[in-house]
A and B are shown apart, each in its own frame.
Chain A
Amino acid sequence: MSLLSLFVLIPLLMLLGLWMAQGMKQIRAVMVTGASLLLGLSFVVLGGYLSERAAGNTAEMLFMADTMWFAPLNIHYAVGVDGISVAMLILSSLIVFTGVFASWKMDPMPKEFFLWFCLLSVGVFGFFISIDLFTMFMFYEVALIPMYLLIGVWGTGKKEYAAMKLTLMLMGGSALLLVGILGIYFHSAPEGGTYTMNILEIAQNQMPIGAQRLFFPLTFVGFGVLGALFPFHTWSPDGHASAPTSVSMLHAGVLMKLGGYGCFRVAIFLMPEAAQELSWIFLLLTGISVVYGAFSACVQTDLKYINAYSSVSHCGLVLFAILMLNQTAMTGAVMQMLSHGLMTALFFALIGMIYGRTHTRDIREMGGLMKIMPFLGVGYVIAGLASLGLPGLSGFVAEMTVFVGSFQHDDTFHRVLTIVATTSIVITAVYILRVVGKLLYGSVVNQNHLALTDATWFERVAVVVLIAAIVAIGVAPLWISNMIGGSLAPVVEQLLK
């Protein structure tokens, strides 16, 4: 039993515990215990990873475990982590942990809600630890389907429409992805060799260039749908806006990162030559995502829509940076995944808390909330500042690295695109400050709001943990960017070959 398999086993045990739990108290006990264990485990893995590296272990993946699963097709259950997966595991466990606190008073059917929530986390964790394409794809799909019921049953607004749209679009993405994976599999070995699903082996064998040209776009778009690649991002605003708080957090915070991580780990790592050739098409699309998402956020009035479009813009930046195909930009991409995951989760948590009190998310109907609920107000300002890239918070570090890396290309195409993408920083400032000004400061619009209370203790736990993480990355980014950068070396090597 490897250490990493615990990431899948713990949520599964939580499912079992929930099944037997009676009453809200026991459900919460199961969830808090499980989520804390996951959080602890991710830090154990981080510590183990760093000390292994410090001791000079230069293997590409650590904590590897490998069991034969379907022998006729040479499919394994294979796990292993590098610096990037470790970062993603920490992000996921932080958000699962805070998500539990953010949905403390879940109603109705709390048991079912958390069952699906746990299944979703099985998929998420399983995806980040897998190094076998089949296992990876399976966990990817496991993470998608619970969304339908989570949004459809517990969501708000036009939830049924949003749930169906999200599920079908993401399934469409995974349809393309599956063709890509099969294509990779049947070109994973030279003529006469044994085909393999193991990512490391495929990378070593080097796929033929013709197959790469065919399957790179399929794989990239397949994962890109989940990473809100323009024009396949339309599920995201509706889905996020309709989902219940903790699901929005997990979805925007972690699930969208599955897209970026997959693009990087599968599409670019396994098909580097096609990535070099075709990156310009996707750079244009992601460039549009970045700027268009930011502009769209400026005109929205629903808090969740604002944040959802801001996610489109920020996740677009992740893909944008990955496609720059150099070490600095890619390090920035992973930092951006971390940073965006944390701050968007914080945003959605706060929006959920505010909505739970005011019962509206329309910024025109709210104002002066800072006086009424100072704790939530301050949290919102911090999240906003992180989002617009204030130094000292995580957003600055990430975006800085991304743009420095992107500008390292000395041709006009890349430079112009980078300049266009940087404008998103300014636009982000516009919509963030607009919301902060309108929502928190100014005069109280609705007199009934004066009677509202500030955050409860469990809400404070969620907010404080997320803010602490954002500040930690912002203040001490070097160790984490070193960890990521070190793991990127093999990918960059692949690209230069």
Chain B
Amino acid sequence: MDYTNFLLMRDELSLVAVMVLLLLYDLFGSARSLRHFQLVACLLFGLHTLICLFPHRPVEAFGGMYIYKPMLTIVKSILNVGTLLVFMQAHTWLESERTVIRRGEFYFLTLSTLLGMYFMMSAGNFLLFFIGLETASIPMATLAAFDKYKRKSAEAGAKYILSAVFASALSLYGISLIYGTTGTLYFDDVAVRITGNPLQIMAFVFFLVGMCFKISIVPFHLWTADVYEGAPTNVTAYLSVISKGSAVFVLMTILYKVFGNIVMQWQGILYGLVIVTITVANLFAIRQKNLKRFLAFSSISQAGYILLGVISGNALGMTSLVFYVLVYMVSNLGAFGVISVIEQRTGKVMMDDYNGLYKTNPYLSLVMMFSLFSLAGIPPFAGFFSKFFIFAAAASEGYYILVLIALLNTILSLYYYLLVVKAMFINPSEQPIAPFRSDNYTRVSLVACMAGVFLLGILSVVYQQISLFSFGM
């Protein structure tokens, strides 16, 4: 065994180092020094983010099990930045009385899921892919149940683990059929031996359904709203952005790389899924009064838009998808940051509670509004650009009707995003949320999100950089 292979996994090693250091610090740090735990954790993870920022040469390790391509640096960096933002937003929650003793666990569990996602993305073999998938989902259930003294949180954990296991089982069944029909689990070999016979199509469908559970594509989305509502808000943010983003990226690479031979078939399936996902999620979002449920349905419909990038199956689609995930991340984290800080201070998460928010907390309202506008795809916010590119990608393959349906759906989505804006800016309120100062961690993260929302689109350099790497895939 050649141990130098391990050194090729720079990003994973650095992440494991951060995990272990934080765990040891949490175990052996003195009570005095532990007061700085949050700061140390953010700094350490920030350092890791910096290390991962630099692409290195493409490598294959462990006989093709693990594959690194420069494109992964971009995706991993996006996930890293998102995770860092979540950590900063989690400050108030982690410092609260009941959570403070377990914050070490929060970091360890979150980083474990991230490690799982890294493996999932770097996999060159279905086996490593599956290990990554499981590493990413099981700690997630623990995270969802983190506020275990709350009934809803415990319930969310149970719901998540059940549906995650079910989804994994389906995927695994699909993978076993793939192995049965092709005799290999290596992506490159499978790709050649996929001929499109009915058994392979069935295997593919099982695999896809499992992935659709993770990304919460309609009709496999039923767990989403409950889990999002029950889980602690910061975990929900992580779940909706990082977990979803990584799963979408993996789905795309596997569809392109492994199932390239049956592209006609999966494009047909995705076509239907996109329409159903966007429409159903938007219709359900209209009726939500709880903002966490509201954002759950909004994120389901966003996943539908993301699939538009997958369906095109070309380099433009891949670039647009990665860019979309990035923009979706900053926009959604902006919205979740506001919800989280308000929930921590006042315990309010209903839309009616936000009535008249602009009068008392103008900056938070503005952050919320800009984030929602970005999610709705209104210029000059980044969401407009990412939506435009994803539509352009789908149109480039001639899916004009699909684009039209998706666009008509953006009107629906604009309607419900405007409902929140209306609550904050127009509706009068007798008992508005009192003015308060949010903590510095939240502020920094919200400023970062806003910088992203304003600049990512207008500064074309980000998109061009992603495009540069995606042509290499």
The answer, yes or no, to whether A495 is at the interface (CB within 8 Å) is: no
Q: Is the CB of A142 within 8 A of B463?
A: no
Is residue B403 within 8 Å, beta carbon to beta carbon, of the partner chain?
yes
For B395, list chain A residues within 8 Å (CB).
179, 182-183, 185-186
Complex CA–CA separation, A70 to B457 (angstroms): 10
A179 contacts which chain B residues (CB < 8 A)?
395, 400, 403-404, 407
Q: Please tell me if A72 contacts chain B, counting CB pairs below 8 Å.
A: yes
B54-78: contact bitstring with A at CB < 8 Å (1 yes, 0 no)?
0000000000000000000000000
**Across the interface, do A71 and B464 meet the contact criterion of CB distance under 8 Å?**
yes
**Which residue, of B384, B408, B418, B421, has the highest number of chain A Cβ atoms within 10 A?**
B418
B389 within 8 A of A: yes
Please tell me which one of the listed residues A142, A160, A168, A186 contacts residue B379 in the complex, with CB atoms under 8 A apart: A142
Looking at A70, A160, A164, A183, which has the most chain B CB atoms within 10 Å of its CB?
A70
Whether the pair A72, B403 counts as a contact (CB closer than 8 A) is no
The 0/1 profile, CB within 8 Å of B marked 1, for residues 41-80 of chain A is 0000000000000000000000000000111110100000
Stretch at the interface among A146-154, A274-282, A303-311, A333-341: A146-154
Of chain A, the residue at the smallest CB distance from B404 is A179
> Are A168 and B414 neighbours in the complex by a CB distance under 8 Å?
yes
Q: Which residue of B lies closest to A69 (CB)?
A: B460
**Residue among B378, B400, B410 making CB contact with A175, cutoff 8 Å:** B410
| Chain A 134-178 near chain B by CB (<8 Å), digits 1 or 0 | 100011011001001100110000001000100110011001101
B residues 362-380 near A (Cβ < 8 Å) are 373, 378-380
B464 and A175 contacting across the interface, CB-CB below 8 Å: no
Whether a CB of chain A sits under 8 angstroms from the CB of B316 is yes
**Are B460 and A152 in contact, CB atoms less than 8 angstroms apart?**
no
Quick one: CB contact mask for B409-449 with A, threshold 8 Å, 1 for yes? 01100110010011001100000000000000000000000
Chain A neighbourhood of B378, CB < 8 A: 141, 145
Please measure, in the bound complex, the distance between the C-alpha atom of A75 and the C-alpha atom of B422, giving whole angstroms. Answer: 34
Name B71-104 residues within 8 Å CB distance of A. none
Cβ–Cβ contact A178 & B407, under 8 A = yes
- Contact partner, A172, options B408, B418, B426, Cβ 8 Å: B408
User: Would you call B396 an interface residue if the criterion is a C-beta within 8 Å of the partner chain's C-beta atoms?
Assistant: yes
The reply to whether the CB of B392 lies closer than 8 angstroms to some CB of chain A is yes
Quote the shortest CB–CB distance from A195 to chain B (angstroms). Answer: 9
Contact assessment for A171 and B400 in the assembled complex, using a CB-CB cutoff below 8 Å: no
Within 8 Å by CB of B410, from A171, A182, A186, lies A171
Known contacts A70-B464, A171-B410, A186-B395; is-contact A164 B379 (Cβ 8 Å): no
* Distance of A182 Cα from B407 Cα, bound (Å): 12
B403 touches A160 (CB 8 A): no
Given contacts A171-B414, A175-B411, A183-B395, contact A72 B404 (CB under 8 A): no
Least Cβ distance of A7 to chain B in Å?
16
Q: How far is the CA of A285 from the CA of B378 in the complex (A)?
A: 30
- In the complex, the answer to whether A168 meets B415 with C-beta atoms within 8 Å is yes
The one of B319, B380, B388, B414 in contact with A134, judged by C-beta atoms closer than 8 angstroms, is B388
Interface: B391 (CB within 8 A): yes
The answer to whether B408 touches A175, judged by C-beta atoms less than 8 angstroms apart, is yes
Total residue contacts A-B, CB cutoff 8 A: 81
Report yes or no: B403 in contact with A182, Cβ–Cβ below 8 A: yes
Contact (Cβ within 8 A) B319 A72: yes
Tell whether B467 is near chain A: CB-to-CB under 8 Å: yes
Which of A72, A149, A172 is close to B467, meaning CB atoms less than 8 Å apart? A72
A75: chain B residues within 8 A (beta carbon): 460
Contact (Cβ within 8 A) B379 A172: no
Q: Which of B380, B389, B467 has the most CB of A within 10 A?
A: B380
Q: Please determine whether B391 and A182 come into contact, CB atoms closer than 8 angstroms.
A: yes
The answer to whether A138 and B392 touch (CB under 8 A), given A69-B460, A72-B463, is no
Cβ A138 vs Cβ B380 within 8 A: yes
By CB atoms of chain A within 10 A, which of B316, B410, B460 has the most?
B460
Given contacts A141-B378, A168-B414, contact A175 B404 (CB under 8 A): yes
- Docked Cα-Cα span, A182 to B403, in Å, equals 10
Are A148 and B421 within 8 A (Cβ)? Answer: yes
Task: Among A139, A145, A172, A178, point to the contact of B388 (Cβ < 8 A).
Answer: A178
Main secondary structure of the interface of B (DSSP, over half): helix
- Please name the residue on chain A nearest to B409 by beta carbon: A175
CA distance A355 to B460 in the complex (A): 47
Q: Is the CB of B415 within 8 A of A164?
A: yes
Residues A292-307 near B (CB distance < 8 A): none
Which residues of chain A from 201 to 215 have a CB within 8 Å of any chain B CB? 214
Interface residues on B, range: 20 to 34
Q: Please, which residue of chain B has its CB at the minimum distance from the CB of A143?
A: B379
B407 touches A153 (CB 8 A): no
Q: Of the candidates B373, B389, B400, B464, which one forms a contact with A183 in the assembled complex, judged by CB atoms under 8 Å apart?
A: B400
Provide the residues of chain B in CB contact with A149, threshold 8 Å.
Answer: 421, 425-426
Q: Which A residues touch B421, using CB under 8 A?
A: 148-149
Cα of A107 to Cα of B404 in the assembled complex, Å: 41
Do A185 and B425 have beta carbons less than 8 Å apart? no
Chain B: minimal CB distance from A274 (Å): 16
In Å, the complex CA distance between A148 and B424 comes to 13
Q: Are A72 and B316 in contact (CB under 8 A)?
A: yes
In the complex, A171 Cα to B418 Cα: how many Å?
A: 12
Nearest CB to that of A183 among chain B residues? B400
Contacts of A185 in B (CB 8 A): 392, 395
Shortest Cβ distance from B387 into A: residue: A178
B426 touches A70 (CB 8 A): no
Nearest opposing residue in chain A for B413, CB measure: A171
Q: What residues of chain A lie closer than 8 Å to B384, measured between beta carbons?
A: 138, 141
Contacting pair B407 A73 (CB below 8 A): no
Contacting B at CB under 8 A, from A86-142, are 134, 138-139, 141-142
* Binary flags per residue of A370-405, CB closer than 8 Å to B gives 1, else 0: 000000000000000000000000000000000000
In the bound complex, what is the Cα–Cα distance between A475 and B408 (angstroms)? 46
How many angstroms from the CA of A142 to the CA of B415 in the assembled complex?
17
Chain B residues, Cβ within 8 Å of A175: 404, 407-408, 410-411
CA distance A153 to B407 in the complex (A): 27
Contact residue among B373, B389, B426 (Cβ-Cβ distance under 8 Å from A145): B373
With both chains docked as a complex, state the minimum distance between the C-beta of A417 and any C-beta of chain B, in angstroms: 30
Nearest CB in chain A to that of B406: its residue: A175
A171 touching B411, Cβ below 8 Å: yes
A71 to B461: give the CA distance in the assembly, Å.
9
Q: How far is the CB of A203 from chain B (nearest CB, A)?
A: 20
A160 touches B400 (CB 8 A): no
CB pair B403 A153 closer than 8 Å: no
A69 to B460, CA, bound (A): 6
CA–CA, A185 and B460, complex, Å: 19
Residues of B within 8 A of A72 (CB): 316, 319, 463-464, 467
CA distance A72 to B460 in the complex (A): 10
A109 to chain B, nearest CB (A): 9
With A69-B460, A72-B464 in contact, is A148–B418 under 8 Å at CB? yes
Q: B381 to chain A: closest CB distance in Å?
A: 10
Q: In the complex, which residue of chain A has the Cβ closest to the Cβ of B319?
A: A72
Check if A153 sits within 8 Å of B404, measured CB to CB: no
* Set of chain A residues within 8 Å of B388, measured between Cβ atoms: 134, 178
Chain B 342-377: CB-based contact to A (< 8 A → 1; otherwise 0): 000000000000000000000000000000010000
Of B389, B404, B411, B414, the contact of A73 (CB 8 Å cutoff) = B389
* Chain A residue contacts of B411, Cβ below 8 A: 168, 171-172, 175
A164 surroundings in chain B (CB, below 8 A):
415, 418, 422
Bound-state CA distance A138–B316 (Å) is 20
* Chain B positions near chain A (C-beta within 8 angstroms): 316, 319, 373, 378-380, 384, 388-389, 391-392, 395-396, 400, 403-404, 407-408, 410-411, 414-415, 418, 421-422, 425-426, 460, 463-464, 467
Q: Other CB < 8 Å A-B pairs besides A164-B422, A178-B388, 18 of them? A: A72-B463, A73-B392, A149-B426, A152-B422, A153-B425, A160-B426, A164-B418, A167-B418, A168-B411, A172-B408, A175-B407, A175-B408, A176-B404, A178-B407, A179-B407, A183-B395, A185-B395, A186-B396
Can you sample 7 A-B contacts with CB below 8 Å?
A: A72-B463, A149-B425, A160-B426, A178-B391, A182-B392, A182-B403, A186-B396
Top-7 shortest CB links A-B: A175-B407, A182-B395, A72-B467, A138-B379, A70-B460, A152-B426, A141-B379
